[in-house]
Structures are given as structure tokens and as C-alpha cells.
């Protein structure tokens, strides 16, 4: 494979780690990011930070879909310790480092390797959060939104963050078509957090 992406299932690139401390809600997470995984840096990227800050639980079952090294799901567990948190990613290196980061912070979460919902076929969640790989293209992103709808409990919320002018506006339209609703819950620096609620039809 000549060029790998962070959604490559089994990265073969050299493993390089970066350490960071992420302050969140009066707490702080110690995180290790790793090459070959989205967000490889010394800091949590702005879009992910905005998603974390915008989120408040709709219920008790949370999924961080495409979790990378775990910043969103682990932040949610720190802020809302009674919520059951699942983190999933297709990238096995991401899953390994999400597990390492959960142990590093002594946070009890469920972490699975999964291509979207393949390993979670019957699971239902009250909140699904995603900072999706826009580079995967529209067919994949449509699938991500529609499968998230199917895996939400009634009244559950789907939260997605993106740069509005770099594909986000299209994603919001797809969410509105799928859910019948979509709103901006936070915005800044060209980034928006969109939220849709699964209502009974």
C-alpha cells in the first residue's frame, strides 16, 4: 500500500507516539496519540474539542464512532461517569491506543474494532458522536449517517462535527433528510457541530 489513511484497517507505517494533556471540564486527560491514526499531534484538534464541549448526554448509551485514539469517548466518560461508553474504529492501531489511553486514565469503557456497525449489529445507543473522515467520500458518509440512525434508540441524538464549507453543509443536509431534522448546536472557526434527533415517524 503506497499511501495509508487513518481509516486504513491495519496501518503498516512506523509507530511514532506523541504525549499530551487535554484539560476538560475541570479535569485533565493524559493521552498518547500515534502515527497512522486520526489526530496524530501534541494536542486535540479544534473540531474534536468543539464536539466534546457541545455534547451533553441524551441517555445512558454512548458511541464514539471512529474513535481514533479515544479523545471524544474518554472525555465523555470523564465528564459523565455514569454513562455507558463504547468506542469503535476500523483502524486496529486506533483501537489499541484508545485502550491504552483508557487504562492510562483508569476509565472503564467498551472498545471494539468495527467497520461502522459491523461488530455492533444489534446495539442501540442514545447518543452517537462522530468526527467523520470526509476524505472517504459521500457514499461512505451517507452510509455512516443512515446506519447511525438505525442504531439510535427512539429519542436518541446523532452528533457530527465538520468544517461547514468543506463538506459539512452537505452532511447536515443528509442528516436532515435521514432524521427529518438537523440543527447547528455549536460553531466557530468554520467548524460546526450538527445534531439530529431520532423521532418516531
Q: How far apart are CA 8 and CA 37, in angstroms?
A: 9
Return the pLDDT at 33.
82
Return the pLDDT at 44.
81
Could you tell me which residue, 74 or 36, shows the higher pLDDT?
74
Could you tell me which residue, 118 or 137, shows the higher pLDDT?
118
Span of 48-57, 105-114, 133-142, 143-152 with lowest mean pLDDT? 133-142
Span of 34-43, 54-63, 122-131 with lowest mean pLDDT? 34-43
Task: Give the rounded percent of residues in the chain with a pLDDT score beyond 70.
Answer: 87
Average pLDDT, rounded, for the chain: 89
Q: How is residue 137 written as a grid cell?
A: 467520500
Task: Give the rounded percent of residues in the chain with a pLDDT score beyond 90.
Answer: 71
Q: DSSP secondary-structure letter at 48?
A: H
- Owner of C-alpha cell 427529518: 180
Three-state DSSP class for residue 50: helix
Return the pLDDT at 135.
79
- Owner of C-alpha cell 476524505: 135
Task: Check if the beta carbon of residue 154 is closer than 8 Å to that of residue 125.
Answer: no
pTM exceeds 0.85: yes
- Per residue in 10-51, pLDDT (tens digit) is 555 676 788 889 998 899 999 988 765 555 455 588 899 999
Q: Furthest-apart CA pair in the chain: how many Å?
A: 49
Could you tell me which residue, 179 or 12, shows the higher pLDDT?
179
Kindly indicate the confidence band of residue 1, based on its pLDDT and cuts at 50, 70 and 90.
very low
Return the pLDDT at 5.
44
Q: How far apart are CA 84 and CA 52, in angstroms?
A: 16
Kindly indicate the confidence band of residue 6, based on its pLDDT and cuts at 50, 70 and 90.
very low
Task: Check if the beta carbon of residue 157 is closer than 8 Å to that of residue 195.
Answer: yes
Q: Tell me how far CA of residue 1 lies from CA of 9, 12, 14, 34, 35, in angstroms.
A: 12, 9, 14, 19, 16
Domains of the chain (ranges; CATH) run 45-197 (3.40.50.150)
Could you tell me which residue, 62 or 5, shows the higher pLDDT?
62
Say yes or no to pLDDT of 4 above 50.
no
Averaged pLDDT for residues 125-148: 92
Amino acid at each position: 500500500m503506497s499511501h495509508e489513511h487513518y481509516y486504513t484497517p491495519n496501518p503498516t507505517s512506523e509507530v511514532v507516539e506523541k504525549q499530551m494533556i487535554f484539560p476538560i471540564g475541570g479535569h485533565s486527560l493524559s493521552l498518547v496519540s500515534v502515527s497512522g491514526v486520526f489526530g496524530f499531534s501534541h494536542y486535540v484538534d479544534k473540531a474534536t474539542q468543539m464536539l466534546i464541549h457541545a455534547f451533553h448526554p441524551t441517555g445512558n448509551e454512548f458511541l464514539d464512532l471512529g474513535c481514533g485514539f479515544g479523545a471524544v469517548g474518554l472525555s465523555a466518560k470523564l465528564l459523565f461517569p455514569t454513562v455507558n461508553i463504547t468506542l469503535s474504529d476500523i483502524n486496529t492501531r486506533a483501537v489499541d491506543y484508545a485502550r491504552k489511553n483508557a487504562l492510562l486514565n483508569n476509565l472503564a469503557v467498551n472498545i471494539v474494532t468495527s467497520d461502522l456497525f459491523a461488530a455492533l449489529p444489534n446495539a442501540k445507543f442514545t447518543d452517537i458522536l462522530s468526527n467523520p473522515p470526509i476524505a472517504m467520500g459521500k457514499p461512505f458518509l451517507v452510509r455512516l449517517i443512515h446506519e447511525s440512525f438505525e442504531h439510535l434508540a427512539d429519542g436518541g441524538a446523532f452528533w457530527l462535527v465538520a468544517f461547514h464549507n468543506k463538506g459539512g453543509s452537505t452532511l447536515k443536509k443528509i442528516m436532515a433528510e435521514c432524521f427529518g431534522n438537523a440543527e447547528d448546536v455549536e460553531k466557530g472557526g468554520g467548524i460546526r457541530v450538527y445534531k439530529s434527533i431520532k423521532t418516531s415517524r
